[in-house]
Amino acid sequence: MLDLLIQNATLPDGRVDMSIAVRAGKIVEVSAGLDAPARETLDAGGYLLSPHFVDPHFHMDATLSYGLPRVNESGTLLEGIALWGELKPLLTQDALIERALNYCDWAVAKGLLAIRTHVDVCDPRLLAVEALLVVKRRVAPYLDLQLVAFPQDGVLRGPLGPDQHMDNLTRALAMGVDVVGGIPHFERTMADGALSIKLLCELAAELGKPVDMHCDESDDPLSRHVETLAFETQRLGLHGRVTGSHLTSMHSMDNYYVSKLLPLMAEAQLQVVANPLINITLQGRHDTYPKRRGMTRVPELLAAGINVAFGHDCVMDPWYSLGSGDMLEVAHMGLHVAQMTSQAAMRQCFDAVTTNAAKVMHLPGYGLAVGCDASFVLLQARDPVEAIRLRANRLKVWKKGALLAQTAEVVARLQLAGRPNAVDFSQP
């Protein structure tokens, strides 16, 4: 007997009236119109059943700290970094854990069941690392949490010096942090930025770890560290294991240079994470008009065969005052900023917070095929485009066949003479 049978579901690839059969936490059959004995049978009502959402770029050590110890008045990246420096000495492990667990609750309610979070390793106490390792263990039954060792102050520039910062980073990895991070554009010089990439990629190759670097998060078109990241990926044979996050300088680069850069990135099998909400908020702050919006060249990267995902980056922290863990809000903003308005492009934006993001995190068992984990979300929408348009309500969220969260169907009641008594905002 099946544990769960979901019938009459629409899948992201457009198939309708589909059934998903689940046994022992795995998908055992995907077919049209299946009817079989099950402990629980659910009629999806034609709504969209999707693999769960994935956030491949976040800062959980800072989340929900908005206003501590003060608000970022300028709204700039650099004031956010300075403000985080003011907050770090005031952090306690208990508060970090509590805020992170609260955010994970939000994530589950939004169908977000996998997060890659960068954690600052410039504090020799590694307080945030210890806290998020506790969180990782506690949420493991229902949320996949990957940690990136992130030298926020720069591995060479930071005030403790390169030896201490590399020691902090290496200790964090030994404690169980999953990924090597970096921030080359924040080093003192372009040469130091390139050297930091070399050192960190060599460490990753030695330890067999993936790499995910904040790279070229700048409006400066001459910030070209992603070229070095692609080179070191090639040199060290790290193909497919390296991610460049942000890449906002590409927004301002000249087209000829980009025409050279994209094939280098594709050859290295570099993966890219854009962060639409934060990129357009923090970039272009030195412009008058026209104002740049900073997000990297998503359509061009995809056309070059490069895997591109969208991350949330921040929620209510020193850099961003808004957010709720809703990856459809991220996809919605990415669609608009990248002007990805064709049917195919809008579906690519949905992929950017589901399948593409899962590739960045190398998630095992992800998807809606036989043998995959039964970890999915039922959305109050008929297809991926409608899901983005409505930032669709999450009706039910499952992890390996277990129901984690549910929300009642949203319907607005009307009191209008001669008109329907309710509206759900779906396309007529």
**Catalytic residue ranges:** 217
What residues contact residue 273 under an 8 Å CB cut-off, 6+ apart? Answer: 56, 57, 212, 243, 244, 245, 246, 308, 309, 310, 311, 357, 360
What residues contact residue 126 under an 8 Å CB cut-off, 6+ apart? Answer: 168, 171, 172, 175
- Under a CB-based contact definition with an 8 Å cutoff, are residues 115 and 60 in contact? yes
DSSP string, 308-356: EEE--B-SSSSS-S---S-HHHHHHHHHHHTT--SHHHHHHHHHTTTHH
CA distance 356 to 363: 10
Dihedrals phi, psi of 411, to nearest 5 degrees: -140, 130
Structure tokens at 239: 């193909």
DSSP β-bridge partners for residue 2: 38
Structure tokens at 248: 């906002």
How do strand 53-58 and strand 242-246 relate by DSSP bridges? unpaired
**DSSP reduced 3-state for 54:** strand
